[in-house]
Structure 1
Amino acid sequence: MKKVALVTGAGQGIGKAIALRLVKDGFAVAIADYNDATAKAVASEINQAGGHAVAVKVDVSDRDQVFAAVEQARKTLGGFDVIVNNAGIAQIKPLLEVTEEDLKQIYSVNVFSVFFGIQAAVEAFKKEGHGGKIINAASIAAIQGFPILSAYSTTKFAVRGLTQTAARDLAPLGITVNGYCPGIVGTGMWEQIDAELSKINGKPIGENFKEYSSSIALGRPSVPEDVAGLVSFLASPDSDYMTGQSLLIDGGMVFN
């Protein structure tokens, strides 16, 4: 019987790469995304290639919608074993310009959604009568704060802390909780960061991405598939004795 995973923010970027990798690993996958069209496109791509996927529209900042998405995945795909709380947004603003609304928005997507995903997954695992794996998206910004990314960095520090506390709380239930910390990944999010930094510091589009990437020990920015490889490990039996960890996958930018 196939194991079942749900990946949030799986309509594009890192989330899509994670979903495709988990399908390759033998999972049936729920493609959960706010953008219904992209979620359906990824699910269709997987199903046409012989995999098993279903698209689920969800606003991850809404607790009821997250619970409904997990339950839909469990019933439609016939079980529930792994959740990847991948969805997130970036905000690029000088510290003193961050507003209350900015904080409410980014915390609702980057932190509240992880809480909701954890709670919904535990409910699903209990219904299935077994433990499971919870995998959360952190960042190198969860290990080291970055200028102009103050709000974003604090959300990712929060995810890292939540990963540790949830791991302790849920271990008696046979549930592991781990995180992954990407660095500079060539996705739409980094295009946004680059463009916003350009407005602030006046550097040409692409220059900030290039400068940040120049500090990577392995000599290149990562691609989504690099991150998906780590998530594959965290979703596999090979990580059964690991919990509460947030692992860097950044090519050698931050050393912890």
Structure 2
Amino acid sequence: MRLLDKVSVVTGGAEGIGRETSIRLAKEGSKVVVSDINSALGEALVQEIKQNGGEASFFKTDVTKFEEMEALIDFAVETFGNIHIMFNNAGIGLNKPFLDHSPEDYHKVVDVNQHGVFYGMLAAARKMKELNTKGVIINNASVFGFVGTLGIAGYQAAKGAVVMLTKHGALELAPYGIRVVGVGPAAVNTKIVQGYRDAGLLEYMEKQQLTRKLIEPEEIASVVAFLATDEARSLNGTVVMADDGFSVFKSDIRP
């Protein structure tokens, strides 16, 4: 119960990493606002959390609209009285060769994965400052914000921006007692890797990681939960690479 009485907001909270993080934060004692564009899954998760003794509420949000992100933060404060933890997790993927990318493809991914994070940071930080809350903003970056791969131009551009937004946010928000940190997963067992499955590349993706298997969303949730605690106070402006070694070796030279 390291987050007892804290209030958390999780975007993209109904599925995958967001779902498991919402559950984990609630188990740690936090009151959780699950935010997602999918109301049915979000409401079902809230009921599950409540049935297991946690406190949670759902708020439908399109992260590409700043006014909806502001409304989300206002809802969290109106419902639970404050906001201490903001997990900017919502993201989408699109796997297509660079020359086949259209501007619409690119902007669709960047709008969610980059602009959505910026909007979440801005709305949460403004409210934390207003309430004089010493909070933490956690951004879901990616190993693909650091290393190149095929087929995901928009995703890589957006995640690289998230890495820099994390550094910049930490610098500017530190005077207000707001910490900003990121988590950098590699290939996680969620629907965002479906493109690799469809292309027959799942085994290839697994071999890019030291344990030769996909990371489970619960594993990333445990890292996020730790980053939200006071125990992680020294982690600020950095991205914790929860990537099972993806960024530290080349799979084609492994024995």
Range into which the TM-score falls when normalised by the shorter chain: over 0.9
| 2:234 counterpart (241, 245, 250) | 241
Q: Deviations over 1:67-117 (max 9, x none)?
A: 101110111012110100000000111111211111221111011111110
4+ residue stretches of structure 1 with deviation over 4 A?
none
Q: Offset at 1:193?
A: 3.7
Q: Offset at 1:152?
A: 0.8
Q: Offset at 1:253?
A: 1.3
Find out whether 1:216 has 2:209 as its counterpart.
yes
Q: Offset at 1:127?
A: 3.1
Seq. identity, %: 33
Q: Deviations over 1:195-240 (max 9, x none)?
A: 2xx2xxxxxxxx3111110232123211001101110111000111
| 1:163 counterpart (148, 163, 166) | 166
* Counterpart position of 2:91: 88
Unaligned runs of 5+ in 2: 250-255
Count the aligned residue pairs.
Answer: 246
* Counterpart position of 2:138: 135
* Counterpart position of 1:226: 219
* Counterpart position of 1:203: none
Letter in 2 for 1:24: K
Q: Deviations over 1:46-71 (max 9, x none)?
A: 01111000011000000000010111
Cα RMSD after superposing both structures: 1.3
| 1:192 counterpart (167, 192, 195) | 195
Tell me, in whole angstroms, the C-alpha distance in 1 between the residues paired with 2:146 and 2:107: 22
Partner SS state of residue 17, structure 2: helix
Tell me, in whole angstroms, the C-alpha distance in 2 between the residues paired with 1:241 and 1:186: 29
Matches within 5 A, 1:89-104: 89-104=92-107
Unaligned runs of 5+ in 1: 199-206
2:63–2:116 CA contact under 8 A, matched in 1: yes
Letter in 2 for 1:89: I
Q: Offset at 1:255?
A: 2.1
Q: Offset at 1:137?
A: 0.7
Q: Offset at 1:250?
A: 1.6
| Length-normalised TM-score, structure 2 | 0.93
Tell me, in whole angstroms, the C-alpha distance in 1 between the residues paired with 2:142 and 2:238: 12
| 1:17 counterpart (20, 34, 42) | 20
* Counterpart position of 2:246: 253
1:136–1:180 CA contact under 8 A, matched in 2: yes
Find out whether 1:50 has 2:50 as its counterpart.
no
Tell me, in whole angstroms, the C-alpha distance in 2 between the residues paired with 1:129 and 1:178: 19
2:107–2:154 CA contact under 8 A, matched in 1: no
Find out whether 1:119 has 2:112 as its counterpart.
no
* Counterpart position of 2:67: 64
1:28–1:51 CA contact under 8 A, matched in 2: yes
Letter in 2 for 1:48: Q
Tell me, in whole angstroms, the C-alpha distance in 1 between the residues paired with 2:161 and 2:30: 29
| Length-normalised TM-score, structure 1 | 0.93
1:184–1:213 CA contact under 8 A, matched in 2: yes
